[in-house]
Amino acid sequence: MAVKVKKSSALLALNITPLIDVVFLLLVFFMVMTRFDEEDYKLEVALPAASEAQPLIAQPRELIINIDADGKYHVQGDFVSLEQVEKILQQTSANNPDAAVIIRADRRCRLEFPVSVMNACNKVHLTNYSLTTSAPERID
């Protein structure tokens, strides 16, 4: 004896519009929250090599100061003078005394430029600063 199953009309009329709305809102949320353009890393800087350099695994909150081969300072998307760098560091120190300052100096620039930034950090009492390097290239 065959069993007859009556098709339910509830499955035929399943409304997926709210599901599509939720997926769309999640998509918009993640698009807004994602930073597409990392302007601090736009400037092409050839970093010096260090054997103990480790990759950056997270995007911490810090102030990044780039120095190109000619000794020009690049902060927050703009080329600035050393005096402007000091003002930015002073404002950063006022906002967050524990802020990290990352100095990305081109290996071809003179040492006085990154040292000037370090001196400016010390002047405004920002002691959490570092000079970035890259891993040395291996020749096998």
Lowest mean per-residue pLDDT among 7-11, 50-54, 62-66, 129-133: 7-11
Parse the chain into domains and list their residue ranges: 39-131
Q: Check pLDDT > 70 for residue 12.
A: no
pLDDT(15) > 70: yes
> pLDDT per residue over 27-84, tens digit each?
888 877 766 555 556 667 777 777 776 665 544 478 999 999 999 999 988 899 999 9
Residue whose pair of structure tokens reads 């010096």 in the numeric block: 48
Q: What is the pLDDT of residue 58?
A: 46
pTM over 0.75: no
User: Model confidence over 80-106: pLDDT tens digits?
Assistant: 999 999 999 999 888 888 889 999 999
Q: pLDDT band at residue 124, thresholds of 50, 70 and 90?
A: very high
Question: Does 139 score more than 70 pLDDT?
Answer: no
CATH number of 39-131: 3.30.420.270
